[in-house]
Amino acid sequence: MDPMERLLAERACERLVIDFVHRLDLGEPSSVAELFTEDGVWQWPEDGRLVKGRDALRAYFGSRPADRLFHRADGTWLLASRTLHLPFGGATPRTNSPLP
């Protein structure tokens, strides 16, 4: 992957996270399901709880109260870190120095 392709891929991932949070907290929570594939999965690592499939995801996210802001409290974002598991992508390379 050349540097421009990498930059574009990273930006697409950033936009996806922003779109997710915006839909969940400020938009229509059930529309979060549209960001998943038809067979998408939302899983909790602690206990293995699982929501599978776009229809189930729509029901799960849509059941949130409209006034409940999951990721913010007093203007501070509580979403500081997420691990994204891409079974086809492998580990994300990390460097000790900033990108050129």
What single letter denotes the amino acid at residue 92? Answer: T
Residues 6-57 pLDDT 10s: 889 988 988 888 888 888 877 788 999 999 999 999 988 778 889 999 999 9
Q: How many CA atoms lie within 13 A of 92 on its CB side?
A: 9
**β-bridge mates for residue 43, sequence order:** 50
Residue 88 in any domain: the answer is: no
- Residue 81's pLDDT is what? 45
CATH number at residue 25: 3.10.450.50
**Domain total of the chain:** 1
Which residues 6+ apart lie within 8 Å of 25 measured at CB?
69, 70, 71, 72
Q: Is the pLDDT of residue 100 over 80?
A: no
Q: Rounded to an integer, what distance in angstroms lies between the CA atom of residue 25 and that of residue 31?
A: 11
Cβ-in-10-Å burial (0-12, 13-18, 19+) of 90 comes to exposed
pLDDT in tens, 72-86: 555 555 554 445 555
* Bridge partner residues of 72 (DSSP): 77
pTM of the predicted model as reported, rounded to 2 decimal places: 0.62
**Ranges 7-11, 57-61, 93-97: which has the least confidence:** 93-97
Other Cβ atoms closer than 10 A to 75:
5
Domain containing 38 equals: 3-72
Is residue 96 in some structural domain?
no
The pLDDT assigned to 33 comes to 94
Q: Are 35 and 21 in contact (CB under 8 A)?
A: no
Flag whether 27 is in a domain: yes
Residue 99 domain-assigned (yes or no): no
